[in-house]
Structure 1
């Protein structure tokens, strides 16, 4: 594609492996603003492609569309941007810790020598730790 060439919504959606309704939704929520022909058809250029790539990258990092919108709005506001990143980082770190604990339980269960997992002292300790009080 030449840098000045514009594409239809279908072409852009196909290039990114997205459904066209996803791009329309992103436009409805203010994340995209493609140029419109006189007939109302959307035309996407290189800047729109970069914006789509940024949205996808943010989604890959686990950010929701509301968070992406806030980040785009805060592009020139470094402290706000950093606060948003920190908040998401902290939530991800909590999820990772929880997933690691889950993985540890599963790994022990797979390798446990006990005939019945409920008779395993390690498993019993984990069960007891989950009982309130």
Structure 2
């Protein structure tokens, strides 16, 4: 970017944002643009890079509070916040892998209604019985409704 000052409209346009988003980030303490003699916001190159960090962090699923800690050099809790964010990402990945396993199982299972599949039922019988809570599908081969073994099925 060239080293000049941009208006709020110019900077917002560069990042595909509405101007009210930049104003909100300013009210949240994430941005602190210069002001000209008339009180209009003027954003410099450092502000543009900060907006880029905020946009990228939001795209990575971070909250404004998390982003504030990320960009605040005086934030003592920065590492803890980032470690918790990584743990959240790991949880989301695990949930997506379970979702993939469920969809793959339903797609490959000979039982039209997955709830009638003996192997799916075996995986959730303890939940139905109340001896386990939650859905955690392990990876192993199993027999489908009509007796066909499908290797690599993730529902057990």
TM-score (norm 1): 0.87
Give the deviation of 1:76 after TM superposition.
5.4
Question: How much does 1:63 deviate?
Answer: 0.9
Q: Is structure 2 residue 110 aligned with structure 1 residue 109?
A: no
Matches of 1:34 and 1:125, distance apart in 2: 60
Per-residue Cα deviation, 1:13-35 (whole angstroms, up to 9, x for no partner)? 11101111110000000000111
Deviates more, 1:19-28 or 1:97-106: 97-106
2:17 equivalent to 1:2: no
The residue aligned with 1:124 is 121
Query: Which position in structure 1 is the counterpart of 2:147?
Result: none
Which of the pair is proportionally richer in helix? 1
- 1:69-98, Cα deviation, whole Å (9 max, x unpaired): 12222x256x73222211111111012111
Task: Find runs of 4+ consecutive structure 1 residues off by over 4 angstroms.
Answer: none
What is the TM-score when the length of structure 2 is the normalising length?
Answer: 0.75
Structure 1 regions of 5+ residues with no counterpart? none
Q: Distance in 1 between matches of 2:50 and 2:37?
A: 23
**Equivalenced residues, count:** 130
Distance 1:63 1:55 in 2: 9
> What is residue 20 of structure 1 aligned with on the other side?
19
- Which has the larger Rg? 2
Task: Give the Cα–Cα distance (whole angstroms) in 2 for the partners of residues 45 and 93 of structure 1.
Answer: 36
Alignment RMSD (CA, Å): 1.8
